[in-house]
């Protein structure tokens, strides 16, 4: 706006000089120069200034109003954090000049959704195809009379469970994309089932496990089997980190949180951030590789709107869910 005004002022001064046939020779006398400057100020600069102020104000208001729909669209995009799948920008209030840009963004979002859906379908298909040969291999190992048969069967079982967990994660992503309503999940019941399932193995490994739940059992919205898988992984990691004779503590509450405490060295926040990235492996990971992996645990929590947190001082990992009360 300032550049346009400056150019206009220069052109106007040039026009005045042309029509009044002014030259530097005409302005050689001091009185003539003063009169010329006064004429320029009164008939050029002052009207131009009076015109520029309202023009600048109106221009600012028009531009500001034109960008309000863009700001609202940016706020809606930010509010969709964690629910990006299927999100599109409403282009009805967008100015016509910005429509090509917004349409391009929506087209990009659609292509990203398609790519994610294809990847999830591929992962689910691969996991499904792998289950059959693993089942056959497990049956063959049952017939094998060898000292290593038990260990190999354990490895195969670990692989089958990991595949099941990956399929579960794909199902969660698909349900989220399809906006399927989640179920009501009492965290105390999930913790009780998982601890009961894992207790024999924990005791056989020379550790003790205990469960403590609040009287007012917290309830969250989500997928029960996914939450159970995440908790199972944390307990297995705790068993791995806890020395023989130690105790693994599982606490439900207060609030929508499940905390798993072990007697290991603890996991720092920076280390946790490193481990939730793909292809990283924790010291807390189960020795036989059967753990779900903190990266997938973090993904399960993100799908539920929660977080995976750590408190290294008390050697504790927590599944924290949003408070819907």
- The domain spans of the chain are 2-79, 113-177, 183-320
- Confidence tier at 24 by pLDDT (50, 70, 90): very low
The secondary structure of residue 186, as a DSSP letter, is: E
Side-chain-side CA neighbours of 20 within 13 Å: the count stands at 15
Range scoring the smallest mean pLDDT among 26-40, 58-72, 95-109, 189-203: 26-40
113-177 and 183-320 in the same fold: no
- Confidence tier at 3 by pLDDT (50, 70, 90): low
Residue 234 has pLDDT above 70, yes or no: yes
Which pLDDT belongs to residue 20?
55
Nearest to 264 by CA among 288, 280, 244: 244
Task: Tell me the per-residue pLDDT of 61-86, one tens digit each, with 9 for 90 and over.
Answer: 777 777 777 778 778 777 776 566 67
pTM exceeds 0.85: no
Q: Are 286 and 240 in contact (CB under 8 A)?
A: yes
Alpha carbons 318 and 325: distance in angstroms, whole number: 19
Statement: 183-320 belongs to CATH 3.30.565.10: yes
Which of 163-167, 196-200, 266-270 is the most confident on average? 196-200
Identify the CATH class of 113-177.
mainly alpha
Task: Tell me the per-residue pLDDT of 88-134, one tens digit each, with 9 for 90 and over.
Answer: 888 888 777 778 888 888 888 888 878 777 777 776 677 677 777 77
- Confidence tier at 137 by pLDDT (50, 70, 90): confident
Alpha carbons 262 and 238: distance in angstroms, whole number: 5
Which pLDDT belongs to residue 319?
92
Alpha carbons 250 and 231: distance in angstroms, whole number: 9
Range scoring the smallest mean pLDDT among 94-108, 142-156, 181-195, 202-216: 142-156
Distances (CA, A) of 242 to 68, 126, 261: 56, 35, 10
What percent of the chain shows pLDDT beyond 70?
72
| 248, β-bridge pairs | 209
Range scoring the smallest mean pLDDT among 65-69, 108-112, 177-181, 190-194: 177-181
Radius of gyration of the chain (CA): 34
Residue 225 has pLDDT above 50, yes or no: yes
Query: Which two structure tokens, joined as six digits, stand for 124?
Result: 């689910």
């Amino acid at each position: 706006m300032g550049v346009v005004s400056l150019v206009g002022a220069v052109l106007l001064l040039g026009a005045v000089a042309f029509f009044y046939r002014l030259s530097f020779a005409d302005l050689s006398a001091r009185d003539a120069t003063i009169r010329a400057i006064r004429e320029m100020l009164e008939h050029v600069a002052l009207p131009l200034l009076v015109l520029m102020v309202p023009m600048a104000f109106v221009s600012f208001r028009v531009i500001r109003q034109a960008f309000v729909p863009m700001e609202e669209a940016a706020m809606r995009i930010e509010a969709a954090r964690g629910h990006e799948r299927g999100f599109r920008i409403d282009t009805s209030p967008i100015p016509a000049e910005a429509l090509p840009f917004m349409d391009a963004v929506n087209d990009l979002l659609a292509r990203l959704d398609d790519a994610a859906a294809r990847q999830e379908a591929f992962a689910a298909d691969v996991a499904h195809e792998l289950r059959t040969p693993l089942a056959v291999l497990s049956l063959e190992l049952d017939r094998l009379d060898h000292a290593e048969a038990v260990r190999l069967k354990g490895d195969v079982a670990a692989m089958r469970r990991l595949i099941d967990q990956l399929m579960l994660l794909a199902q969660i992503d698909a349900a989220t994309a399809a906006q399927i309503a989640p179920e009501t999940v009492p965290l105390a019941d999930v913790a009780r089932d998982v601890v009961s399932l894992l207790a024999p193995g924990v005791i056989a490994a020379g550790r003790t496990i205990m469960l403590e739940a609040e009287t007012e059992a917290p309830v969250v919205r989500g997928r029960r089997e996914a939450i159970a898988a995440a908790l199972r992984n944390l307990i297995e990691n705790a068993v791995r980190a806890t020395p023989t004779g130690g105790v693994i503590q599982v606490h439900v509450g207060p609030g929508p949180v499940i905390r798993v405490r072990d007697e290991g060295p603890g996991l720092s926040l920076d280390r946790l951030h490193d481990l939730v990235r793909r292809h990283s492996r924790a010291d807390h990971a189960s020795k036989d590789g059967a753990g779900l992996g903190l990266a997938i645990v973090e993904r399960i929590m993100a799908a539920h709107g929660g977080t995976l947190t750590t408190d290294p001082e008390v050697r504790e990992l927590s599944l924290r869910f949003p408070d819907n009360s």
